Structure 1
Amino acid sequence: MTKLFPLTACLMLFGSTTGPFAGTVCTNYTARADDFYNASRTSLAVSKKLDQSGAKVALLARVGSDLSRYGLHYSHVAFVVKNYPGKPGKWTVIHLLNECNRPTSSLYAQGLMNFFMDNLYSQDYQITIPDQGMQARLYEALKPQVIGRLHSNQYSLIAYPYSRLYQNSNQWVLEMAADADNPKSRHTRQSAQDFLQRTGYQPSIVTLSPVARLSVSLTHAAIRFNDHPEIENRTRRYSFVSVDSVVAYLHRRGHLQVVQADTKRRNN
């Protein structure tokens, strides 16, 4: 896995202590034989579907932990690029990751198998293929010399979608897509967020109990609340960028060709 820029991602979801969120780099996990087998099988299936699609840029989502209590399934979305500079003939995953529970992030380039080796809750995946025009613009925006212009290394798992204080993994993907969609973009986070507001992006909402709110504030450096409006902190209903909200936004904008989901089983 190649680090492209210093950036952020995530560790635990809203105070859960049962498993990692899917946008985290941790070094204390020892892979098992089953992990290699499952990741290999999934990566081969994904590569075959991507090749058959004829796409050169797609979005690829995975399941890092069980989010069903929040009405969500996929936890982390990344770009996947064919023939990325320096990696001819291969599919390369480009995404923002948080190093465990630190409030910072980095951008990474890695192979498909590594993408599915990160101690995931399941090997379920979702492939989202944008239209040809969006693919072409994203391919240019993801080149190493310009990829970092919309990245912030200050991370929060539930970063507010319209604040530049922090950024989460899915938010980076969303802002990159908005930047590519905006013909008058200034290639800044502010420009991307302004465009998202004008074009009707709808974030996901999570409600935290008082105990959960206090717990995550005290124990998880990668979850911060001071970027959210006062009304959200008062009601403990927090807007954030989920995989579902990214895909729904691209669908409403008319930029999706295909969405393919494959559900398997929970990893043992």
Structure 2
Amino acid sequence: MTRLPAFVLRASLFVLASLAGSTAWAGARCAARHPSPQQLDAAAATALRAVDALEAADASVALIARVGTDLSKQGLVYSHAGFVLRDHPDGRWTVVHLLNECGSDRSGLYAQGLVDFFSDDLVNQDLRIVWFTPDVARRLSQYLAHMPRGNLHNSHYNLIARPGSRDYQNSTAWLVEVMASAQATRPVKDRVDAYALARAGGFVPDIVGIPYTKRVLGGLFSANVAFTDHPVATRLSGDYPVITVRSIFRFFDKAGYTARVEEWRHGRRMSTPGPA
């Protein structure tokens, strides 16, 4: 799969026409597809909302979240997030994130423009942006400037990766491990060490319920899901600790990393952030 270049955002039909010709898509599906004009229009509108907010904040980096999967049955809203960088070689306001490749057991690190980030087959165009305190943002942007950091990426993907797992990683685990490493006051040895620092800083994963009967009868077996990453006791109970976007929001807030949050639901800015 080709890693996507970032797009320079301009509110013009020329950019939309260029985007419509893109056939390389990072994420869960391999098949190249053309987004519909309606999807492009919605993605561009969301991207421009994000750009306006990011430019107004004058920060070098933020966390940006989207709703790619309906997780309402688990009490969750946002399913995926990435770090959005102002000064990136691929273009201003480029999202750096980890993505599962084609629903397989593999992942890659991607640099993606905001229109692309919101052009995938999403549940809706809601978004949330988290800005960091100046020191946290400075350390994180410096750390991300030297990506990829191979020691913090395990390409063996598991959608429900056990937090702290040495054998598997998912997109949310990568975010937590990168942030912990960027803020560390000592050298970080590896991913396990990074997660230990996050736990010491107050990170707590969410518990997602997946009953055994649902696993077996519901056909929850695919290349990008490995239940065996979790101990037998967890598999029997059906209560899986998982790093969710909500748990990342909670961690950043508890650790004192968050300066402020803005959110848009149904295209409208919320006066206060809603459920995550």
Q: Normalising by structure 1, what TM-score?
A: 0.86
Given that 2:95 and 2:111 are in contact with CA atoms closer than 8 Å, whether structure 1 keeps it comes out as yes
Of 198-207 and 23-32, more deviation after overlay is shown by: 23-32
Deviations, residues 124-180 of structure 1 (Å, cap 9, x unaligned): 001011111111111122124553331110000010112111000011011101111
Structure 2 match to 1:230: 232
Q: Is the 8 A contact 1:3 1:106 kept in 2?
A: no
Give the conservation status (yes or no) of the 8 Å contact 2:212–2:236. Answer: no
Q: Which consecutive unaligned segments of at least 5 residues does structure 2 have?
A: 6-25, 268-276
Q: Does the Cα contact within 8 Å between 1:3 and 1:107 map onto a contact in 2?
A: no
Q: How does 1:4-153 map to 2 (within 5 A)?
A: 24=28, 26-87=30-91, 90-153=92-155
Q: CA RMSD in A?
A: 2.0
The one-letter code of the counterpart of 2:89 is: P
Determine the C-alpha separation between the residues in 2 that align with 1:217 and 1:120. 23
Q: Distance in 2 between matches of 1:118 and 1:172?
A: 20
Q: Identify if the C-alpha distance between structure 1 residues 219 and 51 changes in structure 2 by more than 3 Å, giving closer, same or farther.
A: same
Q: Give the 3 Å change call, closer, same or farther, for CA 219–26 of structure 1 in structure 2.
A: same
Q: 1:167 aligns with which of 164, 169, 186?
A: 169
Q: Kindly indicate whether the alpha-carbon contact (under 8 Å) linking 1:62 and 1:74 is maintained by their aligned counterparts in 2.
A: yes
**How far is 1:231 from its partner?**
2.1
Could you tell me how far apart the structure 2 residues matched to 1:195 and 1:145 are?
20
Q: Note the C-alpha offset of 1:245.
A: 0.2
Give, in whole Å, the separation in 1 of the partners of 2:201 and 2:87. Answer: 31
The residue that corresponds to 1:191 in the other structure is 193
The residue that corresponds to 1:8 in the other structure is none
Please list every run of 5 or more consecutive structure 1 residues that lacks an aligned counterpart in the other structure: 5-21
Q: Secondary structure, in 3 states, of the residue corresponding to 2:35?
A: coil
Letter in 1 for 2:167: L
Counterpart of 2:248 in structure 1 is 246
Q: 1:219 is paired with a residue of what secondary structure?
A: coil
Aligned-pair CA distance for 1:201:
1.3
Query: How far 1:192 moved relative to its partner?
Result: 0.6
Q: Secondary structure at the match of 1:108?
A: strand
SS in 1 for 2:227: coil
> Which 4+ stretches in 1 moved above 4 angstroms?
215-218
Identical aligned pairs, as a percentage? 36
Distance between the aligned counterparts of 1:196 and 1:226, measured in 2? 24
More strand by share: 1
Residues 132 and 257 in structure 2, CA contact (< 8 A), matched pair in contact too:
yes
Query: In terms of mean alpha carbon deviation, does 195-204 or 103-112 score higher?
Result: 195-204
The answer as to whether partners of 2:90 and 2:111 remain within 8 angstroms in 1 is no
Shift in alpha-carbon separation, 1:225–1:173, aligned structure 2, 3 A: same
2:210 aligns with one of 184, 208, 211: 208
TM-score (structure 2 length as normaliser): 0.83
Paired residue secondary structure (1:226): helix
1:40 Cα deviation after fit: 0.6
1:2 aligns with 2:3: yes
Q: What CA distance in whole angstroms lies between the structure 2 residues aligned with 1:196 and 1:28?
A: 37
- Give me the whole-angstrom Cα distance separating, in 2, the residues matched to 1:203 and 1:196: 11
Letter in 2 for 1:249: F
Question: Structure 1: how far apart are the matches of 2:185 and 2:85?
Answer: 22
Q: Which amino acid aligns with 1:2?
A: R
Aligned residue pairs, count: 246
Larger Rg: 2
